[in-house]
Amino acid sequence: MHLTVIGATGMVGTRLVAEALHRGHHVTAASRHPTRYECPGARSLLVDTSSGEGLDAAVAETDALILSVRTSPGQEDRLAPDTARVLDAAARADVPVLVIGGAGPLRSPTDPSRRVADDKTYVPNDWRPLASASAAQLDACRAHTGARWTYLSPPAILQPGERTGTYRRGTTTLLTAQDGTSRISAEDLAVAALDEIEHPGVNQHITVAESLDPGLGASPHIVGE
């Protein structure tokens, strides 16, 4: 399978590229600064989601597109229109898109009537602009006509860590552990993302979190709610 990762030089993007190559896929690593990250085996491509530069080349002759981008502080309002621009290009090429979004649009596990973006238990005040931007990003996906997309929300905490190959999968509600924490490593998020690409589910909005049983090691992933 030929996959294109937009945002390939970011914390999540580098793990997505590595996981895809590990599974034997052909990978195009697309970003605004492709020289910042050299990954043997991947083809580098200049893509700017703000201007649209390189988007048609990114979706040409690829089987699936993974969008994993973030905005700088103060520029959060660019995330939704940039995502819509990517969906436009994907729709023209009839290529499915997996959007690695944010936890903001998920439902709070303690109050399903509230979004995580509005729950200070999971989103401190200084994170709220990005959380709200991710909610707007999902709205942009839902409003788009013609594109085939899936939105993957990470848990509240997403950091570099260990690749265990396991995770729990949910839909529209934030997944938490018994102590109330909600986290996953960027490496295991990449595992979940590539699983979704290889074996697409029926839900357009999904989420994942770390496995509750660390003794599972590298066994297949766990399906949650």
3-state secondary structure of 126: helix
The strand pairing partners of 141, in sequence order, are none
Question: What pLDDT shows up at residue 213?
Answer: 72
Asked if residues 159 and 183 have their Cβ atoms less than 8 Å apart, the reply is: yes
Residue 114 has pLDDT above 60, yes or no: yes
- Average pLDDT of the residues in 188-206: 97
- Average pLDDT of the residues in 97-107: 95
Residue 208: which of 180, 177, 179, 174 has the closest Cα?
174
One-character DSSP codes across 142-185 = HH-SS--EEEEE--SEEES----S--EEESSB----TTS--EEE
Residue labelled with tokens 């023209």: 92
Asked if residues 129 and 184 have their Cβ atoms less than 8 Å apart, the reply is: no
Domain topology for 2-223: Rossmann fold (3.40.50)
Residue 10: which of 28, 43, 33, 42 has the closest Cα?
33
Percentage of the chain lying above the pLDDT 70 cut: 95
117-150: per-residue pLDDT in tens? 888 888 878 878 888 899 999 999 999 989 999 9
85-98: per-residue pLDDT in tens? 999 999 999 999 99
27-56: per-residue pLDDT in tens? 999 998 887 777 789 999 999 999 999 999
Residue 84 has pLDDT above 60, yes or no: yes
What pTM, to 2 d.p., does this model score? Answer: 0.92
Angle between helix 128-143 and 79-93 (nearest 10) = 30
Please, which pLDDT band fits residue 76 given cuts at 50, 70 and 90?
A: confident
Residue 221 has pLDDT above 70, yes or no: no
Among positive and negative, which fits the CA dihedral 193, 198, 199, 205? positive
- Average pLDDT of the residues in 106-112: 93
Domain boundaries, the chain: 2-223
Question: What pLDDT shows up at residue 72?
Answer: 75
The residues, any chain, with a CB within 8 Å of residue 72's CB and separated by 6 or more, are none
Question: What pLDDT shows up at residue 123?
Answer: 83
Asked if residues 116 and 131 have their Cβ atoms less than 8 Å apart, the reply is: yes
